[in-house]
Chains A and B, each alone.
Chain A
Amino acid sequence: MAVNVSVQNKFQIIVPARVDRAVRGAPVLDAPDVDDRGWVNNRATGLNVDDARGALFGTTVGDVVRLKVVREDLDDAVPLFVTTTGDQVAIEQPAGGGPLPADGIFSVRSVADTTTGSKIQVRLGNASGAVICEADAHTFTPKTVFITPHVCVIHSANAAAVAAGGGTGQTPSINGSALDDAQLTNLFDTIIRPIWRPVGVEFQISPVQNEVFTGNDGFTQDNVALQGTNQIATVYGRNRGIGTCNIFFMHTTDQFLGLGLKFEDRAVLGANNSGIMVGVNGDFNSGAFNARSSAGADLVHELGNDTAHEIGHFLNLDHADEVDSDAASNFNGRVDTYNRRFLMHPVNLLPLATGTAAPPRFDDIGYGQVGASGGHRGCLVTLKHHPSHQSDGETMTVRRRFRSPNLFK
């Protein structure tokens, strides 16, 4: 079926297709998000360079990932093929590069992390046809974050009372089951690993360490962590796994659902070490406990996203709003799709953007409207570095962090 073109002012540009994420919805290990924020290159410093304009995507050496060609201004019946340039990636499916199936999905094998730029080229008609669309491939050698997970119970009762079987603090729980190794593995496998895999970040997780805090540690309310800077230092200093990222899972955190600190930022909140805290069941604010509103698989999505977000802070990323926004004091001030797509957007559960000033952008990348009123922030760790966005180019910021001697301090 012909595409209608109505030419104004004697010229018309036709861009037949684009490369997109293969699926919508929650993060999937073999379907990385693509950084398609504008067609301009604006690659972060350190990324290999080629002349592709369009989406950038990252993969880890050895992985096979799916991507999708979306026909925007092209007949459905026209056969499309995909080929590659450079030596970082190769086409896995369809064999011979095409023709692509009706859904436009193809898969790419990540071959090597080299210094040569690599492109995916979408071709018209056959494997040597005209190139109608490109995407920029970046293959990364895996960097490992060693994780020591701590499952913490906080009692307001003193140590003696707790030792005697007293204390009413609760173990953090997911969907009614106490947080354990199996749930953590599920959290990482279903959400956290898929988010970080396109950056070339892998996780090695130690068995859960159970920690008990009491009134003797300065806690005055059952379950609630983060009651001032002393408690942060106390928590972050407890039974640390040396050379690892220590994540402390709490029933309830005070004011924030999560807190991630890199070593250099420790003093700001009175800590002596890097570390991460996650309020698994909710937060405590203005004298009231606020339970997480998600449930079931969505709760896993939310917790995984929050934990992945705090890992971003641990790996040297700022909030997307914080550095470059006129709404720094308003965490939900920027409502544009790009910002909401960032893993590092300050807020996870977001209201829908509606009205003429804020059109229906929210689910553009498909990560997650939940119900009719809102949804999750996205999972994109950016590859592009737009000049107007100071905290951009996150993938390379993270990868550079692995050179720091302070990474696991």
Chain B
Amino acid sequence: MSFIARQILGATMFNTITVRTVDIFLQKSPNKPHGDVRGIEGARFQVRDSTGAVIQTGTTPADGKIQVQISGAFSTLEVLAGSAVAQYTIKIRDSAAEAVTTPAGQQRRLRMLGYHIGHSGPEGNGVDGIAVPTKEVDRSALELQADTPAINGAGQTNAMDGVVGNHTQAALTSAAGV
């Protein structure tokens, strides 16, 4: 529970309530849009705080972006599908991202970009740091390479190998911003 300071009657003062927000993009395909259409448009949603109270409602715009308010330890994004609900438990990870040279760092960035790396690991999001990638991670690395013009461009040879080497690490860092 949050407490807001009270002022004596008639006095003027301001309270600052810090609500952290994160940008969730619901998309039809992974990675950052490069001027193309990827957003899931027209999805009705609501956001509940960690007590279950609804704190946001809306409909996704063309880019599928939802600025989710995180109140408390987590918020729950509910995408409304008729009478059913698709739920996403949204938490903020404040620690620095693992180095992109590590399996965990690569998985983290693939996950950030929406690639499907499964749900293993302590956070249930596929980031498990295991050196030998699962088929899902391997497939995602290949997809990232295919989706990256600097790798899958004319004249590039033997580039889509699924191995996250220097060029793929650079692509991950550039797209994820970390």
Contact = CB atoms under 8 A, between A and B. Distances in A.
Partners in one complex: yes
29 contacts: A3-B89, A4-B88, A4-B89, A6-B123, A11-B25, A12-B23, A12-B114, A13-B30, A14-B24, A14-B88, A14-B114, A15-B114, A38-B147, A39-B30, A51-B36, A75-B84, A126-B81, A129-B81, A129-B82, A130-B40, A132-B26, A325-B157, A326-B158, A359-B137, A361-B135, A364-B135, A388-B151, A388-B153, A388-B155
A7 B114 CA distance: 11
Interface string B110-129: 01111110010001110100
B125 A6 contact: yes
Contact of A14 (B27, B76, B119): B27
B88 A72 contact: no
Contact of B146 (A12, A37, A75): A37
Interface residues of A, number: 62
Closest 4 CB pairs of A and B: A38-B146, A125-B81, A13-B114, A125-B82
Interface residues of B, number: 80
Contact of A53 (B29, B76, B154): B29
A184 interface: no
A392 to B, nearest CB: 10
B82 A79 contact: yes
Interface in A26-46: 37-40, 42
B168 interface: no
Contact of B142 (A38, A54, A77): A38
A53 B125 CA distance: 23
A327 B161 CA distance: 12
Given A13-B31, A130-B41, A130-B60, A5 B158 contact: no
A10 B22 contact: yes
A75 B29 contact: no
Given A79-B84, A125-B82, A14 B156 contact: no
Interface string B67-82: 0000000001101111
B10 interface: no
Contacts of A10: 21-23
B178 interface: yes
Contacts of B84: 75, 77-79, 125
B158 A39 contact: no
Residue from A74, A334, A355, A359 with most neighbouring chain B CB atoms (10 Å): A359
A53 B36 contact: yes
A375 B107 CA distance: 28
A387 B155 CA distance: 7
B170 interface: no
Given A9-B178, A130-B43, A387-B156, 7 more contacts: A2-B76, A5-B24, A6-B127, A38-B160, A78-B81, A130-B60, A132-B28
Interface in B37-59: 37-38, 40-43
Contacts of A208: none
Given A3-B88, A15-B27, A131-B40, A9 B76 contact: no
B168 to A, nearest CB: 12
Nearest to B131: A356
A3 B21 CA distance: 19
Interface string B85-109: 1111111110001000000000010
Nearest to B108: A8
B86 A124 contact: yes
Given A75-B87, A356-B131, A387 B154 contact: yes
A338 B108 CA distance: 23
A96 interface: no
A77 B86 CA distance: 8
**Max chain B CB contacts within 10 Å: which of A16, A130, A131?**
A130
A121 B166 CA distance: 36
A258 B40 CA distance: 48
Given A4-B89, A78-B86, A387-B152, A125 B80 contact: yes
A11 B112 contact: yes
A376 interface: no
Given A15-B28, A387-B153, A78 B85 contact: yes
A388 B158 CA distance: 8
Contact of A337 (B77, B112, B138, B159): B138
B31 A39 contact: yes
